[in-house]
Chains A and B, each alone.
Chain A
Amino acid sequence: MSDTHSQANQSIHYVAQSMLPEQPAPLSTSGPVAWMRENLFANWRDTILTVIFGAAILAIIVNLLPWLFLDAVFYADDIRQCRELGEGACFAVVTSRFDQLIFGFYPGHLYWRPILTFVLMLLAFAPVLHDNLPRKLLWFTAVFPLLAYWLLWGGSIWGPILIVAMVAVCFVVFRLLVTAINPTLSALATFVVAVAWLMFVQGPWTDGLSAIANVGLEPVESAKFGGFLITFVIGVTGIVGSLPLGILLALGRKSDMPVVKMICVGFIEFIRGVPLITLLFVASTLLNYFLPPGTSFDLILRVLIMVTLFASAYMAEVIRGGLAALPRGQYEAADALGLNYWQGTQLIILPQALKISIPGIVNTFIGLFKDTTLVSIVGILDPIGIMQPIRSTSEWNGIIWELPIFIGLVFFVACFVMSRYSMYFERKLDTGHRS
């Protein structure tokens, strides 16, 4: 083909010897006009749709924009002053009650503690969500829950330190036993040690050490928590607490021991079958009956327990998906290496399954984060719950739209960012698989 051409080029004079200069594409196929013709007015149906939707969007903008921004009042002392200053929305309620919307009734001079906790939380999540960060940071992630608990609730530092000590003791006990006897037995023994520590060592030693050196932060009681602080506390505790439980449930559900499987399936299906609000009612009215006579948790801790149980059922399903997505060969390879069940799970299966599950976990977190608003129904002052007291004060009595708009916006931004991240991570995993 090519040599016939080259011969022809030499001999036939009407063949062009040089290229014509490049021209820009005609206006009808490029530029905004063409874009519009292609994407907005491709045919008569498109044109009608464009006109209808354009009109709708325009109407929304024309009607809402002045109220929402142009005539809105952002600083005022109360609603009456607000109405005098402008016709539009009175976002002054948000600016003047900003602290309550974010922190609830958390003491004002201690705001640095939740803020620091939030920053540390981002730091703690970073190594989980970005795998090019140094792995050493995972140690910080492991310590973070205790640190966060201490920072938010305050109190003596010895409590959290003793917990760290307990974990260390348990670790040593487990390591010593596991070489001597079977892993299941040593896990049981470690569990007994932990319970004994919590029952007999934790309380007295905390008091004793506090008496020797009283180092600690000013305690803040749960009832003072509110606003988006409580949303984050419940959401993050739920997701972090549900991770270990969810892993165990997922493993249990895949187990070939019928009894274990039945218990796990029963638990998961029960939790997933009832609405969260009924579980919150259980937390607010029933949970205390299930504790030994004489003990009682405060409401926020009870809600945290129920939310963690709730999330763990969903988490189990996500992780089960991750486990199912692992190629069969990985399990066989673990067996072939002579690893026992726990070694194989810990070293081969879980690291991979958890990584695949991260987008699902983030999605579960988004769902949970939104669902935390339900706690307002059992009387916890989360952002939605705190709307009521703000609206019933004499300054802001009569405010209707501004608070839900602000709260909705914050939720939107948080959830949108997280969902984009989860999509990004999914794409990253996807390419990882193919290469």
Chain B
Amino acid sequence: MTAATYSDGSEPFEFRMLFYDKRYRSITLQIITIVLFMLAVAWLVDNVVQNFRDLGKDFSFGFLFQPASYDINQTLIEYTSRSPHWKAAVVGILNTLLIAFLGCIAATIVGVLIGVARLSQNWLVSRFMTVYIEGFRNVPVLLWILLMSTIFATALPSPRQAPQLLGGALVPTNRGFYLPAFEWGAGSLPLVIIFLLSIVAIIVFRRWARTRQQETGEILPVFWISLALFFLPSLIAFFLLGRPIGLEFAELKGFNYQGGLYVRNSFMALWLALSLYTAAFIAENVRAGIQAISKGQTEASYSLGLPPSRTMNLVILPQALRIIIPPLISQYLNLTKNSSLAIAVGYMDITGTLGGITLNQTGREMECLLLVMGFYLIVSLLISGVMNVYNSAVALKER
């Protein structure tokens, strides 16, 4: 250490200056820190190397290209037990992203509704929402996940006794929910293109309507026109093209229903628990955001003659969003990280495949956990990157 600090000082000055002279002290301290830090890291790495050598283990990612030899129930891409481990990991990553994405959407919708309802004039409604928020916030999410899973497993009937709701479109069983799946026939491609085009048309129309409103003050029935644009072209094309997209219903064959869209209870339990739990936190953020907007804004809006719903949509929410969104995004981050609890209900996310079965079967803890943590780290950094971009975009521009 002393050698390091000596060699650093090129001028002939006293050793004491390194510690007492403000010009050098910070550099000295940093060099000491680096040396200590490197020593600590070297110590840890050396321990790992020694331990691995003692145990005859090696560090390599070659196992990722060996066949995984195990099956996964929910796979969004083609996967069999002969597929390599890296593919199992990809299946897990996609499952994580799926649950995180759908969870964030559901949590936002429920959270905003509850946050607004929490401020309702109606005593019963606001109390009910308070109970909901406190109830979900103060009980561990793991317990909620386990409870949801138990509810689905015990309260729903087995496939053979399951009722066929909505003419067989929804079959709730204690293993999962069967929904109709799309059947893509010939001519479905143009239909999809028409649908996407109508969505683009809606976006363009709304932009145009807004500029028009700002220029002329005339308000168009934007909502109804958007709704019509959403449905009409696609529906007309659907019948003109001879119903290219059909629905495939699940049917009871052998042990289980076959066909259709199978939403497993492991997914449902995790999705519901995560969304409802996170929604309670989001609701509090929404409430805090709305309450942070000064009462004068509401009064000003009323005195301009805006009805309460428009006051909320046009005056309060746009201002509240600035406050709500940063904590909202960190809730998204929490939800994504909490989705790793999938392992408790057997939903095969990245922790379940790469960090679970692959790790167990290959005995490569170091490699598997590094990859799993790396994945979550990348997702977290991406989410917080989005947050930073947003923050700088909406930051109050002081002129």
Q: What residues of chain A have their CB less than 8 Å away from a CB belonging to chain B?
A: 39-40, 42, 46, 49-50, 53-54, 56-57, 181-182, 184-185, 188, 256-260, 263, 269-270, 272-278, 281-282, 285-286, 288-293, 366, 370-371, 373-374, 376-377, 384, 400-401, 404, 407-408, 411-412, 415-416, 419
Contact = CB atoms under 8 A, between A and B. Distances in A.
A389 to B, nearest CB: 15
Chain A's interface: helix, strand, loop or mixed, by majority? helix
A416 B343 contact: no
A50 B47 contact: no
Given A184-B19, A273-B381, A290-B47, A40 B123 contact: yes
A278 B340 contact: yes
Contacts of B69: none
Contacts of A273: 376-377, 380-381
Given A53-B124, A57-B124, A263-B33, 13 more contacts: A40-B124, A46-B122, A181-B19, A182-B20, A273-B376, A274-B377, A278-B376, A289-B52, A290-B47, A290-B48, A384-B142, A401-B150, A408-B147
A289 B54 contact: no
A419 to B, nearest CB: 7
B281 to A, nearest CB: 10
A411 B277 CA distance: 15
Chain B's interface: helix, strand, loop or mixed, by majority? helix
Contacts of B52: 289
A289 B59 CA distance: 13
Contacts of A288: 51
Interface in B339-363: 340-341, 343-344, 351, 355, 359
B138 interface: yes
B193 interface: no
A156 B272 CA distance: 50
A411 B143 contact: yes
Contact of B51 (A257, A260, A293, A400): A293
B150 A404 contact: yes
B256 interface: no
Given A277-B340, A278-B351, A289 B366 contact: yes
B154 interface: yes
Given A46-B121, A274-B380, A411 B140 contact: yes
Given A40-B123, A274-B376, A404 B341 contact: no
A15 to B, nearest CB: 37
Interface in B21-71: 25-26, 29-30, 32-34, 37, 44, 47-48, 50-52, 54
B338 interface: yes
Nearest to B18: A182
A59 B343 CA distance: 34
Name, among A281, A370, A377, A411, the residue most crowded by chain B CB atoms within 10 Å (CB to CB). A281
Nearest to B1: A188
Nearest to B142: A373
A413 to B, nearest CB: 8
B34 A259 contact: yes
A46 B340 CA distance: 41
B369 A285 contact: yes
Interface string B121-153: 111110010000011011111110011001000
B44 A290 contact: yes
B337 interface: yes
Contact of A293 (B44, B47, B122, B372): B47
Interface of B: 19-20, 25-26, 29-30, 32-34, 37, 44, 47-48, 50-52, 54, 120-125, 128, 134-135, 137-143, 146-147, 150, 154, 337-338, 340-341, 343-344, 351, 355, 359, 365-366, 369, 372-373, 376-377, 380-381
Given A263-B37, A374-B142, A278 B373 contact: yes
B33 A259 contact: yes
B125 A370 contact: no
A46 B37 CA distance: 63
A40 B125 CA distance: 9
Contact of B47 (A277, A292, A400, A408): A292
21 contacts: A39-B122, A39-B123, A40-B122, A53-B125, A182-B20, A184-B25, A257-B29, A257-B33, A263-B37, A272-B380, A273-B377, A274-B337, A277-B351, A291-B47, A292-B47, A374-B341, A377-B142, A384-B142, A416-B138, A419-B137, A419-B138
Contact of B124 (A54, A182, A260, A289): A54
Nearest to A401: B150
Contacts of A49: 120, 122, 124-125
Contacts of A366: 138
Closest 5 CB pairs of A and B: A273-B380, A39-B123, A415-B138, A275-B337, A275-B340
Contacts of B121: 39, 42, 46
A412 B33 CA distance: 44
Contact of B19 (A182, A276, A373, A401): A182
